[in-house]
Structure 1
Amino acid sequence: MILKSIALTALTTAVCAVGLPGVATALPEPQKAQETIAWGTCDRPADMPVADGVQCGTLTVPVDWAKPESGAVALRAYRWKAAGPSKTKGTILNFPSGPGETGDIAFATLRKSLPGYDLIALDPRGVGASGPLSCATDKALKIPYVPPMDRRTFHALKENQRSFWSTCTTNPAGLKHHLDAYSNARDAEALRKAMHLDRINVYGFSYGTLIAERYLGLYGDHVNGSVLEGVMNPAQSRREFVTSAAHGMEAIFDRFKKWCEEEAACALHGKDVVSAFRKAQKKADEGHIPGSLITTPWSSVAVTRYFELTASKGFKDAADGLKKLSEGKNPMPGDEETGQDQIPKTYPYADPIVCSDFDLSVKNVGQARRDLTATRKAAPVLGFSTNSNNYTSICLAGPHPAKKSDKAVTSRSAHPTMLLSNTLDPATPLTWVNSVARQLGHKAIEVRTDKVGHGGGLDNPETKRKVVAYMSQANRTGR
C-alpha cells in the first residue's frame, strides 16, 4: 500500500504513499474468459508513457466471477517480452502497488533487477484503463485522516460518506461492487490462460501483495517463484490495522529523533525534537501557519501527515520542514495559490478499493474514540498513522468487504514465497510481514533490508542477490 494522499491531477502529483461473492473453491474457474489477446501499442496519455517495447491488449472477464453471465468488463493488459535467447528464464506476473497504480508500474525495476524474464500484468479493477473508479472531488476532500471524536461531527461524516460513495462510478457500473483482491486474482488467472502459460512467477509490491497472496492461495500450483515486497496482512482487525501502523510510524520518528541528536545536518540538531513537533502542531491548530498541505489546511493532524510523507523520503527534508512549521512557516509554499477553479469535479480515486478487502469502517463515535486511545498508546508522539487511519473514515460507506477477505494467507505453490521488507516502513509495517510469514509457515522466506522507506529493496545489492538466486532456483526446479 503506497503512502497515499488525495492527489488531484489539476493540482499536484502525489507526494508519496478492502456482500461480494464468496471465495470457496466451488466458485467457477476463469475458463470463460477470452482465449487469446491481440497485442499492440499502448494508447496512454503523453504524461503516462510506457517503456519502449511494452505492448498493450484487452482482456475481457466477468464483472462477477460467481455469475459469469451477468456482464463483462474489459481490462487493460500489458506484456514486455525479454530480448535475446535469455528469455527462456520464464514469465513474471506483476501485481502493482496502490491501490491506484497501473499494471506496468514495476516493469522497469523488474527488467533491471531480473533481466531475461517476460513481464505481464493487468491494470487492476477500478484502476487505469480497467473501468477506473472516479468520485466527486469536493466530497473526497472532506474525508478526514482521523475520524471525529464528537457525535455531531461524526454523524456529519457518515452523511458525507453515504453521499460520497454514491458519486463514485465505474464502467460498467456494477464493477464498483467487485473490486476485491479475489476478483483481481481470478482476472490474473484468466490472463495466464489467455497467454497459454503453464508456469509463471509472481511479483507483488505493497497493495499488489494482497492480490498476489490471493492468487497464490487459489492458483499457486502454476507458480514457480513468488516475491512479495512491502507485504499486506489481510488477517487483522481494524484495531490491529491502525495500531500496528501507528507503532510502525512511531518507530520511524524514534529513528528520526536519534538521527537529529547525532547529525549536524538536522535542522533540529541540538534542540528538543519532540518539543519542536508539538510546537508545530500547536501553531497549526491555532491557525498560525499559512497555506495548506496539498489542499488540506494546516492542523496538528496535517503536521503528522507531513512528517509521514517526508520522513520516508529523507530525514533532512523532514527536519527542515518541521523547523519551518514550528516557526509558523509553510514548508510547501505555493499550495495556498491553488484556486477553486483548478479543482476538477471528479477524479480517479482508488482508495475505496481497500474497503473491498478490509473491514475498516469505524461504525460509531465510541469506536473512533477507542481506536484513537489505542493508537496513541502505540504512538505516544505521533498519535496515529494518517495513512492507515484515513481508511476508517473512507470505508464508512462502501464498498463492503468481500466474503472471507480476512482469511489467512495460504499458498498452493510447491515453492516458498520470498517476503521482502524494510526495517522501518511507513506504509506496510514490519508486524504485517511477520504475521504473513507465520501464516505461510515453512512456505515463507523472509529477507529484510535495513532502511527507512516503502519498497526499494531491490536497490540493495545484497537483497537483490538473494532475489536473483531464489528466482533462478525456483525456475530450475519448477514443474
Structure 2
Amino acid sequence: MQPLFRALTAVLAAGLLAGVATPGVLAADAGPPGGSSSAQESIDWKPCSQDATAECGTLRLPIDWARPSGGTFDLAVARRKATDPDRRVGVLLVNPGGPGDSGVDFAVRRAPSHFSGDIQERFDIVGFDPRGVGGSNPVKCSTKLLDQRPSAYPRNQAQFDELAEYNRALRQDCRRHTGPLFDHADTLSVVRDMDALRAALGEKKLNYFGHSYGTLIGEQYAEEYGDRIRSMALTANIDHSLGTREFLVSSAAAAEDSFHQFVRWCDRTSSCALHGRDVTAVWDGLLARADRGEVPDPESPDRALTANDITLFAFKAFYGPDWDELATYVAGLDAQKPSERSGSAEPRQVDPQTKAEPFHAVFCQDWRIRPKDHREYAKLTQAELRAAPHMRGTPRVHAAVAGCIGWPDEVNNPQHRLRITEAPKILMLHSRHDPANHFAWAANVHRQTRATTVLLPYEGAGHSVYGRSDCTRDAVDDYLTELRLPRAGSSCVPAGTD
C-alpha cells in the first residue's frame, strides 16, 4: 500500500509500461463474433528491458475495428513462459483493472509474486496494455489543463456549467494529443484486440484472469467470443448493467461498509492506534476540521488537507485492507493542532507538457452517464451521501461520473444486461466487503449469467481476492489448471479464520 496519494488518478487508474515496445506486425480483423480472427504473423518477442526473464513485443491492430483497413496502433504485450513446459496448459491472458492499469507491467513485474507456482509452471502468462494505456498508444492530455480541473462538487448551475465546459475542453485537448485512438478507447474495442492477440499467440482457445475493471473485458469477451474460451476467472466483478443512480449509490454503500468494517476491527484490536476511542466520532471530527482548513498535510506542511483527501486515503487503505496504516494515519492527523506547520514544502517539479490520463477516455465511452444539469446532479450527490454519510459518498465513482459531464451523449459501449450464450463455465470471486465494487454487482452479474457462471464469495474485506487465502487461491488454481469448479453455494471464510 502506498502512502498518501496526491491525485485521484492514483485511485482511478495506474500503470507504467514495464517493457520496451518493439516493432509490431499487423493483425487481421478479429471480425464479428463467430468469424475468423487470425493474425498474419506472430509477435516478434524480445527480452523486456526491465526484466530479461520476460519477453516483450507489440501487435499492430486497427484503431477502429469497424474500419480495419484504416489507421493502426501497436498493442504492447509481455509474456512469461510456463516454467514447466511439459505440463503447460496454454496461455493465460491477464488484466489487472483500472481502467488504466498496465497488463505489461503486471506480467513483467507483479505476476511472479501474484500467481502461485503451479499457475506459473503451467501457463504462459501474457499481459497487454489495453488501447490507450501504457505502451498502447496512451491517452495523453495537457498537464497544465489537468491541473485546472474544477471541483467535482458544483454548488449551483453556474459551477455545473463550468465543469461541463472544462470537461469538453479537456476531451478535445486529450483527443488532439492522443490521435484517432482516443475515440475508440472503449472496452468492446479492447475485447476485439484481445481476440486478435489470442490468434497471434496461436491459441484456438484462451484462458483469462481479469481483476476489477478487467472483469468487464472478460464479461464482454464471453459475450462476443464465448466459444473461444477454455477458462475464465474474474475477481472483483463489474456490473455493466447499472444505471447512473444505482452505480453511484451502490459504490457509496460499498465504501461506507468498508468504513464500518474498519471501525469494528479497531474496536476489537488492541494494536489499533485508535483502540478504546470512539473511532466514528474521531473520524467525523477530523473531517469537520478539514472542512475548516485545520488539518495540515504531513507530507506538504504548507498545505491543508481537505476532507476529500482524507477519505481518499481511507478508500485506498480499504483496498488492502490496510487498517493498521489507516488507524495510525487518522490518529496522527487527529493529534495535530490547527496551527502546526513543520518542515517546508517540497520544491515543485517541472511537469512534462502532457501526462497519461486514460481513465475517462475509457469510462465515458463505456458508460452512458451524463447528468444534464445541476438539479439532477445534486439529487444524485444527495443520494450518494445518504448511502455513505461517514465516507461522504464514494471518492472513486463520484469523480468518474463528474468527469463525463459535458461529454457527447453517444457512447461506444453503453450499459446492458450481460448476455452470454456459448461460453463454458466461468468462475467469479468477489469479497463480501469490497470497498469499490459492491458485492451486489457480482451477485447481479451471476443472476444474469447463471447458466454460465459460478460465484464464490470471499466473506472478508478488501478489493483483491485471488491471494486472499488458501481457499480463494486454490479455487482459482484448480479451475484454471483442471477446470474443477467449487461446489455451488460454497464460500471462503475471511483470512485467518479458516
Q: What is the TM-score when the length of structure 1 is the normalising length?
A: 0.86
User: Which position in structure 2 is the counterpart of 1:20?
Assistant: none
Contact 1:224–1:413 under 8 Å retained in 2: no
Structure 1 residue 394 displacement after superposition = 1.3
CA change 1:130–1:69 in 2 (3 A) is same
Residue 217 of structure 1: CA displacement?
Answer: 0.8
**Which moved further from structure 2: 63-72 or 303-312?**
303-312
Q: Which moved more, 1:208-217 or 1:87-96?
A: 87-96
Gaps of 5+ in 2: 15-30, 486-498
Residue 353 of structure 2 corresponds to residue 348 of structure 1: no
Q: What percentage of residue pairs aligned between the two structures are identical?
A: 27
2:25 match: none
- The 1:69–1:243 alpha-carbon spacing in structure 2 relative to 1, beyond 3 Å, is same
Q: Deviations over 1:84-140 (max 9, x none)?
A: 344431221112311222223153223635131112232100111100011123433
Give the deviation of 1:395 after TM superposition. 1.4
Match of 1:302 in 2: 309
Cα contact 2:227–2:424 (8 A) shared by 1: no
Contact 2:45 2:57 in 1 (8 A): yes
Q: 1:337 is paired with a residue of what secondary structure?
A: coil
Output one character per residue of 1:218-248: Cα deviation in whole Å (capped at 9) or x when no partner.
1110111100011111111111111101101
Alignment of 1:432 with 2:441, yes or no, is yes
Rounded to whole Å, the distance in 2 between the matches of 1:113 and 1:358 is: 37
* 2:328 aligns with one of 314, 320, 324: 320
Instruction: Choose between structure 1 and 2 for higher RCO, CA contacts under 8 A separated by at least 6 residues.
Output: 1
Q: CA deviation at 1:29?
A: 5.4
Aligned pairs for 1:326-405 within 5 A: 326-328=334-336, 337-352=345-360, 353-398=362-407, 402-405=411-414
Distance 1:5 1:143, change over 3 A: farther
1:428-452 deviations in Å (ceiling 9; x for gaps): 2211111111111121111122332
C-alpha separation in 2, matches of 1:117 and 1:400: 42
Superposition pairs of residues 169-184 of structure 1, within 5 angstroms: 169=175, 173-184=179-190
1:17-416 matches, within 5 Å, as 31=37, 34-43=40-49, 49-50=50-51, 52-104=52-104, 105=106, 107-108=111-112, 109-110=114-115, 112=117, 114-115=119-120, 116-143=122-149, 146-169=152-175, 173-291=179-297, 298-313=305-320, 314-328=322-336, 337-352=345-360, 353-398=362-407, 402-416=411-425
**Structure 1 contact 231–419 (Cα < 8 Å) conserved:** yes
- Per the alignment, residue 467 of structure 1 pairs with 476
Cα pair 1:225 1:416 within 8 Å, conserved: yes
1:210, 1:234 within 8 Å by CA — same for their partners in 2?
A: yes
Residues 336 and 67 of structure 1, relative CA distance in 2, 3 Å threshold? farther
- Secondary structure of the residue that 1:420 maps to in structure 2? strand
Aligned-residue CA RMSD (Å): 3.2
CA–CA distance in structure 2, aligned partners of residues 413 and 469 of structure 1: 22
Contact 1:144 1:393 in 2 (8 A): no
Contact 2:13 2:98 in 1 (8 A): no
CA distance in 1, matches of 2:475, 2:142: 45
Structure 1 unaligned residues grouped into runs of 5+: 18-24, 44-48
Q: Residue 110 and residue 268 in structure 1: after superposition, are their counterparts in 2 closer, same or farther (change >3 A)?
A: closer
- Give the 3 Å change call, closer, same or farther, for CA 226–165 of structure 1 in structure 2: same
Aligned pairs, number = 457
Q: Which moved more, 1:234-243 or 1:404-413?
A: 404-413
- What pairs with 1:443-458 in structure 2 (closer than 5 Å)? 443-458=452-467
Q: What SS does the aligned partner of 2:131 have?
A: coil
Secondary structure in 2 aligned to 1:362?
coil
Q: CA offsets, 1:415-437, max 9 Å, x none?
A: 21111111211222211111111
Indicate conservation of the 8 Å contact 2:365/2:413, yes or no. no
Counterparts of 2:189 and 2:478 in 1: how far apart (Å)? 32
TM-superposed deviation, 1:69 = 2.0
Change (3 A) 1:77 1:475: farther
Range that drifts further, 99-108 or 415-424: 99-108
